[in-house]
């Protein structure tokens, strides 16, 4: 497995620096915008250059064709001007000498002229009668031709007008009799015209020769670009004018297509031999060229100008390359300058980042330099500086508050200890009395709570109570302390539960500006008879479990009001004749209203259900069981109220 | 080495005799200007096969004023190539000839028509043919098939056809056929009539001599034929090298052709040398083809009387 160091990961390289990323994005955007603009510009320019080149080449070709046609026309006119005389004087065979010679002598561009007749047309002249005048080396010579080895009537120039029935130009052909050395001088093409007698019957051919040099020079002179060239092909695609001597006469435009497929060249050749005019792009001799072609008069020949693309687009390509170079250099320069600018602009942020890291390490005293900028970065630095100062102040405040809070917490812990010490916490509470099984617990929801319980034995009577002060925290705890003291003091006077309630109520109601109150269940058991006297002052009904019966809430006739709410209220007490062997549970609403994280209550039904199985349990076991059940119900939720439990069972 | 064994003496006499004979120069004239049609002879000459056979040979091509047959008649050449039908025509006209080597085993004559039309389905059309012959089978076919072609003789090759002055033209499958293709003419099976595919498969090129010269120089004729055959076999086995040699001759004589055309011609010539029945280069005159040619030409009155296989073949 290949491990790539994250440092060399290009993405990480970009991610690591904002200026780098910004520079990259700018470079990309600039490249895209400029590239699109340049491509458009190049395309348009190229099209313009191409159009101009096409116009230029087409114009040149048209001019060339016009010049060639002029030359051809001169020959045609020269032939026509004299040819009709031949037909008129068919009765005078020797006149052929005169006309043949006249055409050559009177027309400088004419290389030769033949006035030839069908075999045995003139019986007395035999099978062959062809008068031929040719211009050679500046001399004009006339002779009679035709023999077994030269049967002129099989020649193209003779047969074409005969077979076609109208004048025609031959393909250029090599006249071996000519003494000139240059091929162009030996190559001639002939304008051939039928000689008709007075009945319109074909009797012979008058053929006027034109040296290919005339056409060759005219066509070869066309050279619009340094590497461009012109060529001319005949009816069968044979090259009759071409700068490559190997191709001249020996090859046709189709030759290269015979052994290997070359559809473009084939199409060009077909178009040219078909007499079409136009332009085609194709690869010639390994180079992309534009070939402009046009037919030459009625000859069936076609001339073409080959313009290599590199020539046509030479200026354009040079300009394009320079522009591309400038573009690349410009982009590089822009990249360098932007890098420097971005780095300089972003530097305060880097400094800020470093200092933020220092502050993050806890060095709040670090001072931020003022860079004097008023832009966003300057404002950010300023804001950050202010934030840092606020942070320092805030942290100081937190420190101070934390110290105060710690002090308060310490005091609260002391208060808690004091509060807890106010209720009996030693179990079993009456080790010398086996008839009393009593267990109690008090768990404040906060450091200190507003619940209370108490019990004591006075003259074979067990006094006990469980109370719940309205509210929580310190005020409730103080109210609880007062209530507990009142209970202890009043109960020890041997008062009945309702009397105790009346007195506590009176004491609490006086000067109770805070409007606090306490619910309380006060009970007194005569340990000799098992009789329970009780007074419920607005408190939750205790749960009782009689032997052999299901657990239930203690049915009460009087619920009374809470203590401290109504001065002078007459509390009503009740009694149960014998509660021995009963299990009695007193509790605060921290039990049945304990909430789980979903705010579902522990519930009275659940409590009764649990209490159904406690007949064989000790008071301590019941309390522990209930504490565990509450803990389980809370499922980690914080206690929502103080929880106080007191379980009592009197044995016989 | 005092006593020379009689057998060695005999061999020495033979060698000396051969050396004396080699001093005489022999002339071979193919029937046309230099091209791949004669590649085997050029190869045999260039690679020294004739020299190996003890023949001092000169290859002289015909020109516009002197045909190959004219040279043979005047004893300026000793060997010449000629098509079978042409040879029969000459024999029939009173000039006996003997075949010492038959190279062609198939007929290469075709008719190509304009405008994608089938030549065999156009009666009375103008068909171009060479002014110097090679068309006996075509003339016979025209009569036999009742096509009554109007024959237009031409001196040049395909220009009348290209100019539209004729409707169809005769062509050799190794020469004008490719010239037409090179001229952009669409040559397809549709507009091409191949005589070899229509019961006119008569052999063509062979090497001929005058019988009187042959009778006096049978041994030389035999050696010439064997060396020529060797040349042709070498061509078939080394076509690229043979093409180089052909191009040397073509360039030397300023023939207006090119390598592509010569390559195509050589391939086709070599193909025509393979007998259709045996699949071999047999280098022999087939009696059945001689008989077929004679019958066809008699029927079309190109011959006055039958020319037989025995008359032609050198014994």
Block means of pLDDT (10 residues each) for chain A, 652 residues, are 56 78 86 90 89 86 87 89 87 90 88 93 91 86 87 91 91 74 75 92 93 82 86 89 84 89 91 91 88 87 90 87 91 89 82 81 73 78 82 87 89 85 88 90 86 90 92 85 89 89 90 87 92 93 90 89 90 92 92 91 92 88 93 90 92 82
The span from the CA of A593 to the CA of A612, in Å, is: 19
Residue B81 has pLDDT above 60, yes or no: yes
Of the two residues B8 and B212, the one the predictor is more confident about is B212
Instruction: List Cβ neighbours of B84 (8 Å cut-off, separation of 6 or more).
Output: B99, B102, B104, B202, B203, B204, B206, B285, B289, B290, B293, B312
CB B277 within 8 A of CB B288: no
Which chain B residue shows the shortest CA-CA distance from A149? B65
Closest partner residue to A236 (CB to CB) among B65, B166, B184 is B184
Q: What is the pTM of this model?
A: 0.65
Mean pLDDT, residues B223-251 taken together:
95
Q: What radius of gyration, in Å, describes the C-alpha atoms of chain A?
A: 65
What pLDDT is recorded for position A179? 64
Residue B119 has pLDDT above 50, yes or no: yes
Q: What mean pLDDT is reported for chain B?
A: 88
Which chain A residue shows the shortest CA-CA distance from B158? A236
The span from the CA of B35 to the CA of B157, in Å, is: 15
Q: Given CB atoms, is B274 within the 8 Å cutoff of chain A?
A: no
Q: Which residues of B touch A300 (CB under 8 A)?
A: 163
What pLDDT is recorded for position A380? 82
Mean pLDDT, residues B25-52 taken together:
94
Q: Given CB atoms, is A1 within the 8 Å cutoff of chain B?
A: no
Closest-CA distance of chain B to residue A311, Å: 30
Q: Which two tokens stand for residue A234?
A: 């005949």
Residue B18 has pLDDT above 80, yes or no: no
ipTM confidence score: 0.83
Judge: B165–A270 Cβ closer than 8 Å, yes or no: no
Q: Given CB atoms, is A151 within the 8 Å cutoff of chain B?
A: yes
Judge: B160–A156 Cβ closer than 8 Å, yes or no: yes
Tell which residue, A566, A565, A568, A589, has the closest CA to residue A639. Answer: A589
Q: Given CB atoms, is A252 within the 8 Å cutoff of chain B?
A: yes
Closest partner residue to B183 (CB to CB) among A159, A174, A236 is A236
- 8-state DSSP, A166: S
Which chain B residue shows the shortest CA-CA distance from A173? B156
User: Residue B80's pLDDT band (boundaries 50, 70, 90)?
Assistant: very high
Strand partners, B126: B150
3-state secondary structure of A469: strand
Q: Given CB atoms, is A155 within the 8 Å cutoff of chain B?
A: yes
Q: Which residues of B touch A237 (CB under 8 A)?
A: 182-184
CB B119 within 8 A of CB B218: no
Q: Which residues of A touch B158 (CB under 8 A)?
A: 236
Judge: A249–B256 Cβ closer than 8 Å, yes or no: yes
Tell which residue, A106, A109, A113, has the closest CA to residue A143. Answer: A113
The size of chain A, in residues, is 652
Residue B14 has pLDDT above 50, yes or no: no
Which chain B residue shows the shortest CA-CA distance from A147? B65
Instruction: Give the pLDDT confidence of B262-315 residue by residue, as tens digits.
Output: 999 999 999 999 999 999 999 999 999 999 999 999 988 889 999 999 988 877
Q: Given CB atoms, is A334 within the 8 Å cutoff of chain B?
A: no
Looking at chain B from residue 114 to 133, which residues have their Cβ under 8 Å from any Cβ of chain A?
126, 131
CA distances for A225 relative to A221, A230, A290, A317, angstroms: 11, 11, 12, 15
SS3 string, A256-298, reads HHHHCCCHHHHHHHHHHHCCCCEEEEEEECCEEEEEEEEEECC
What pLDDT is recorded for position B288? 92
The span from the CA of A480 to the CA of A618, in Å, is: 28
Name the percent of chain B in helix, strand, coil, to the closest 5: 45, 15, 35
Closest partner residue to A163 (CB to CB) among B165, B185, B256 is B165
CB B151 within 8 A of CB A148: no
Judge: A154–B153 Cβ closer than 8 Å, yes or no: yes
What is the widest separation between alpha-carbon atoms in chain B?
A: 82
The span from the CA of A482 to the CA of A508, in Å, is: 8
Looking at chain A from residue 166 to 185, which residues have their Cβ under 8 Å from any Cβ of chain B?
168, 170-171, 173-174, 176
Q: Given CB atoms, is A300 within the 8 Å cutoff of chain B?
A: yes
Q: Which two tokens stand for residue A56?
A: 């230029």
CA B262 to chain centre: 16
Q: Which stretches within A124-279 are classed as H helix?
A: 156-164, 183-186, 212-220, 255-259, 263-273
Preferred mutation among A130, A155, A162, A163 to probe B, highest tally of B CBs within 10 A? A163
Closest partner residue to B258 (CB to CB) among A173, A174, A255 is A255
CA distances for B310 relative to A75, A137, A620, B132, B288, angstroms: 59, 57, 148, 27, 12
Q: Given CB atoms, is B280 within the 8 Å cutoff of chain A?
A: no
Judge: B162–A249 Cβ closer than 8 Å, yes or no: no
Q: Which residues of B touch A154 (CB under 8 A)?
A: 131, 153-155
Preferred mutation among A154, A205, A245, A247 to probe B, highest tally of B CBs within 10 A? A154
Instruction: List Cβ neighbours of B61 (8 Å cut-off, separation of 6 or more).
Output: B29, B30, B32, B33, B34, B253
- 8-state DSSP, A238: B
Judge: A258–B156 Cβ closer than 8 Å, yes or no: no
Judge: A163–B256 Cβ closer than 8 Å, yes or no: no
Closest-CA distance of chain A to residue B45, Å: 25
State the count of interchain CB pairs (< 8 A) between A and B: 94
CA distances for A594 relative to A449, A598, A630, A636, B106, angstroms: 15, 11, 7, 12, 119
């Amino acid at each position: 497995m290949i491990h790539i160091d994250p440092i060399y990961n290009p993405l990480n390289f970009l991610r690591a620096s904002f200026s780098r990323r910004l520079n990259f994005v700018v470079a990309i955007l600039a490249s895209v915008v400029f590239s699109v603009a340049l491509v458009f510009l190049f395309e348009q320019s190229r099209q313009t250059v191409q159009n101009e080149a096409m116009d230029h080449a087409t114009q040149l070709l048209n001019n060339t064709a016009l010049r060639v046609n002029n030359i051809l026309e001169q020959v045609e006119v020269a032939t026509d001007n004299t040819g009709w005389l031949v037909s008129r004087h068919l009765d005078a065979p020797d006149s052929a000498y005169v006309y043949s010679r006249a055409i050559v002598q009177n027309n400088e561009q004419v290389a030769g002229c033949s006035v030839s007749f069908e075999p045995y047309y003139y019986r007395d002249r035999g099978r062959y009668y062809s008068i031929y005048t040719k211009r050679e080396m500046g001399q004009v010579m006339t002779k009679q031709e035709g023999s077994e080895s030269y049967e002129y009537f099989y020649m193209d120039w003779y047969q074409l007008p005969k077979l076609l029935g109208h004048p025609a130009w031959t393909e250029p052909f090599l006249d071996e009799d000519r003494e000139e050395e240059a091929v162009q001088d030996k190559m001639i093409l002939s304008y051939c015209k039928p000689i008709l007698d007075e009945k319109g019957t074909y009797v012979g051919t008058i053929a006027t020769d034109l040296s290919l040099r005339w056409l060759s020079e005219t066509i070869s002179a066309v050279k619009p670009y340094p590497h461009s060239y012109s060529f001319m092909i005949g009816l069968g695609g044979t090259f009759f004018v071409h700068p490559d001597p190997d191709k001249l006469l020996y090859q046709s435009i189709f030759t290269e297509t015979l052994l290997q497929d070359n559809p473009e060249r084939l199409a060009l050749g077909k178009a040219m031999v078909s007499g079409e005019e136009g332009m085609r792009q194709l690869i010639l001799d390994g180079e992309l060229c534009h070939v402009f072609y046009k037919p030459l008069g009625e000859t069936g020949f076609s001339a073409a100008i080959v313009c290599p693309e590199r020539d046509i687009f030479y200026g354009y390509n040079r300009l394009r390359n320079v522009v591309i170079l400038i573009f690349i250099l410009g982009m590089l320069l822009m990249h360098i300058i932007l890098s420097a600018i971005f780095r300089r602009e972003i530097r305060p942020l880097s400094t800020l980042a470093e200092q933020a890291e220092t502050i993050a390490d806890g060095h709040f005293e670090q001072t931020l330099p003022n860079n004097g900028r008023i832009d966003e970065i300057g404002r950010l630095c300023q804001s950050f500086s202010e934030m840092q100062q606020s942070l320092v102040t805030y942290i100081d405040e937190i420190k101070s508050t934390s110290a105060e809070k710690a002090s308060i917490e310490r005091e609260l812990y002391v208060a808690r200890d004091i509060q807890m010490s106010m209720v009996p916490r030693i179990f079993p509470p009456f080790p010398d009395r086996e008839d009393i099984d009593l267990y109690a617990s008090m768990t404040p929801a906060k450091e200190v709570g507003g619940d209370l319980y108490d019990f004591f034995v006075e003259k074979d009577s067990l006094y006990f109570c469980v109370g719940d002060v309205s509210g929580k925290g310190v005020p409730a705890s103080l109210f609880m302390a007062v209530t507990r003291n009142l209970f202890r003091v009043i109960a020890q006077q041997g008062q009945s539960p309702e009397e105790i309630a009346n007195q506590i109520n009176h004491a609490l109601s006086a000067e109770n500006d805070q409007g606090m109150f306490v619910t309380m269940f006060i009970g007194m058991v005569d340990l000799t008879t098992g009789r329970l006297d009780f007074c419920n002052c607005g408190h939750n009904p205790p749960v009782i479990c009689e032997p052999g019966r299901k657990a239930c809430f203690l049915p009460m006739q009087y619920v009374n009001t809470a203590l401290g709410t109504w001065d002078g209220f007459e509390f009503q007490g009740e009694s149960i004749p014998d509660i021995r062997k009963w299990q009695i549970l007193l509790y605060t609403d921290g039990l049945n209203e304990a909430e789980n994280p979903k705010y579902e209550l522990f519930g009275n039904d659940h409590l009764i259900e649990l209490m159904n199985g406690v007949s064989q349990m000790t008071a301590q076991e019941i309390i522990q069981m209930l504490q565990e059940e509450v803990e389980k119900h809370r499922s980690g939720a914080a206690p929502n109220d103080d929880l106080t439990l007191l379980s009592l069972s009197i044995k016989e | 080495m005092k006593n020379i064994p009689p057998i060695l003496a005999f061999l020495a006499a033979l060698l000396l005799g051969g050396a004396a004979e080699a001093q005489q120069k022999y002339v071979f004239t193919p029937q046309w200007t230099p091209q791949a049609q004669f590649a085997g002879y050029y190869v045999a000459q260039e690679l020294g096969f004739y020299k190996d056979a003890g023949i001092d040979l000169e290859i002289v091509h015909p020109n516009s004023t002197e045909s190959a047959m004219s040279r043979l008649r005047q004893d300026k050449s000793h060997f010449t190539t000629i098509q079978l039908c042409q040879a029969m025509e000459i024999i029939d006209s009173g000039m006996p000839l003997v075949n010492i080597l038959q190279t062609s085993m198939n007929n290469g004559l075709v008719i190509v028509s304009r405008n994608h039309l089938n030549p065999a389905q156009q009666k009375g059309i103008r068909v171009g043919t060479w002014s110097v012959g090679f068309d006996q089978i075509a003339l016979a076919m025209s009569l036999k098939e009742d096509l009554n072609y109007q024959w237009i003789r031409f001196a040049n090759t395909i220009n009348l056809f290209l100019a539209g002055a004729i409707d169809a033209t005769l062509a050799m499958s190794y020469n004008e056929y490719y010239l037409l293709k090179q001229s952009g003419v669409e040559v397809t099976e549709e507009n091409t009539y191949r005589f070899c595919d229509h019961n006119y498969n008569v052999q063509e090129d062979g090497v001929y001599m005058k019988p009187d010269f042959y009778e006096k120089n049978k041994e030389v004729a035999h050696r010439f034929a064997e060396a020529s055959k060797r040349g042709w076999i070498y061509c078939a086995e080394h076509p690229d090298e043979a093409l180089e040699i052909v191009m040397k001759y073509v360039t030397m004589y300023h023939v207006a052709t090119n390598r592509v055309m010569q390559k195509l011609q050589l391939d086709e010539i070599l193909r025509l040398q393979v007998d259709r029945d045996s699949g071999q280069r047999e280098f022999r005159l087939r009696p059945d083809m001689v008989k077929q040619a004679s019958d066809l030409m008699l029927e079309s009155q190109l011959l006055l009387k039958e020319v037989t296989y025995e008359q032609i073949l050198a014994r």
